[in-house]
């Protein structure tokens, strides 16, 4: 796992440019448990989802590990908050404002 000093703002922002990756991060922000790759509601194929998880992992935003045959995802919340205070909260807030609430 990358040390917090190796997480760069450039790589984090490049990873968060894509709406699918923002959705993954937002879903992880909104839960207190680690999620299997198949648990995410994503509008892409499995192979494309794998690519998005890799980009997030390489940017230092998530950590992945196996439980049996399931690949689990955890948000590196503490490290990201330490390196870039308020970034994840701003991302979730922006996502909530952009998502219309059904009446």
pLDDT tens for 43-63 read 999 999 999 999 999 999 999
pLDDT for residue 1 is more than 90: no
Question: What integer pLDDT is reported at residue 3 of this predicted model?
Answer: 64
Q: How far is CA 95 from CA 7, 36, 85, 103, in A?
A: 23, 22, 18, 18
Entry pTM: 0.89
Q: Kindly state whether residue 84 falls inside one of the protein's structural domains.
A: yes
For residue 16, what is the domain's CATH number? 1.10.10.10
The domain of 40 spans 4-94
Q: Give residue for tokens 């390196």.
A: 83
Return the percentage of the chain with pLDDT > 70, whole number: 90
pLDDT tens for 6-51 read 899 999 999 999 999 999 999 999 999 999 999 999 999 999 999 9
């Amino acid at each position: 796992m990358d040390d917090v000093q190796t997480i760069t703002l450039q790589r984090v922002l490049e990873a968060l440019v894509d709406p699918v990756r923002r959705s993954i991060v937002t879903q992880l922000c909104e839960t207190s448990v680690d999620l299997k790759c198949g648990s995410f509601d994503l509008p892409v194929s499995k192979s494309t989802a794998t690519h998005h998880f890799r980009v997030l992992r390489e940017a230092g935003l998530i950590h992945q590990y196996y439980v049996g045959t399931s690949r689990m995802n955890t948000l590196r919340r503490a490290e990201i908050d330490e390196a870039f205070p308020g970034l994840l909260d701003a991302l979730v807030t922006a996502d909530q404002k952009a998502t219309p609430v059904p009446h």
